[in-house]
Amino acid sequence: MAREITGFSNPLVKRVRSLREKKLRKREGLFLAEGLRILTEARELGVLPEMIFLASGADPHPLASALINAVEAAGGDVIFTTPDILGKMSGKDNAQTLIGVYRDRLTPLPALDRARAPIWFVAQAMRDPGNLGTLMRIGDAVGAGGVILVDDCVDPFSVEAVRASMGAIFTQTIAHASWDEFLAWLRAGPGQLIGTSLNTDQDYQAPAYVPPAFLLIGNEARGLPAGYEAACDLLVKIPMLGRADSLNASVAGAVMAYEVLNQLRRTGDQGTAPQAPE
């Protein structure tokens, strides 16, 4: 159903704005995604927002029209409003953006199908939403299945993480578990657990990685706890030639994931990656 909102004090405006806070996202089970490109990606994957907000007046972009039609056909709400109110909801000035309100997409770990993809990320106590979003984007690029969040990670449905994911929030499976839950689940099936560490001399290009490969990425400041390293099947070291002893967490994830992907490309053993590289 399409309607129009012009008042800042409208309860729906406040409710959407409140979804910028983790506590209220959790309570509602909803999150925000912004921008025509990301919303269109989601639509093409069959994921539609429960509500969509856009500026009234100007003729909408053909892709925006397609979104409007799809949301209405699915029984969702299409709400036209002013750039000021869009700005208030998105936290940006002069927002000509689209805002979609989506049902959150957390997958219970037992429901995660590890055979669906050759690479999975496991993020341990990742604190930076930009890193987590970037990790999802990398996951999309390498044909990973998704990210399993272990310990106290930043909310993957935060506006910053969703933005940095560039739409990968809709392609990557997201699960959350304690370390013990994760380890029990992992060991109940096939899967290599691979940690990057300074406490090893094994070069990251030395082992033969076997899918499904679970790439464990430690906290940005502290790396992996010793007990977590001890639980890994493989500990490897990315070479560092300079003075620094670490890479940014998502960069380390990318270097590891492309190594695994490159090995799988050479052996042709790509598991069930969505699409073969050229």
Residue numbers of the site for a second copy (CB under 8 A)?
Answer: 41, 44-45, 130, 134, 137-143, 164, 166-168, 171, 201, 203, 205, 237-244, 246-248, 250-251, 254-255, 258, 261-262, 265, 273-278
Residue whose CB is less far from a second copy, 5 or 63? 63
Yes or no: say if 232 and 268 are a contact pair by the CB < 8 Å rule.
no
Phi, psi of 139 (to 5 degrees): -55, -45
Give min distance, CB of 109 to a second copy, in A: 22
Give min distance, CB of 240 to a second copy, in A: 5
Triad 127, 117, 185: Cα angle to 5°: 65
Residue whose CB is less far from a second copy, 2 or 221? 221
Give min distance, CB of 61 to a second copy, in A: 17
Residue whose CB is less far from a second copy, 12 or 39? 39
The amino acid at 224 = L
Work out the burial of residue 62: count CB atoms within 10 Å of its CB; fewer than 13 is exposed, 13-18 middle, 19 or more buried. exposed
Q: Which helix (H) or strand (E) holds 90?
A: helix 83-90
Give min distance, CB of 241 to a second copy, in A: 3
Residue whose CB is less far from a second copy, 182 or 212? 212
d(CA 140, CA 74): 27
d(CA 110, CA 224): 24
Residue whose CB is less far from a second copy, 6 or 272? 272
Give min distance, CB of 136 to a second copy, in A: 10
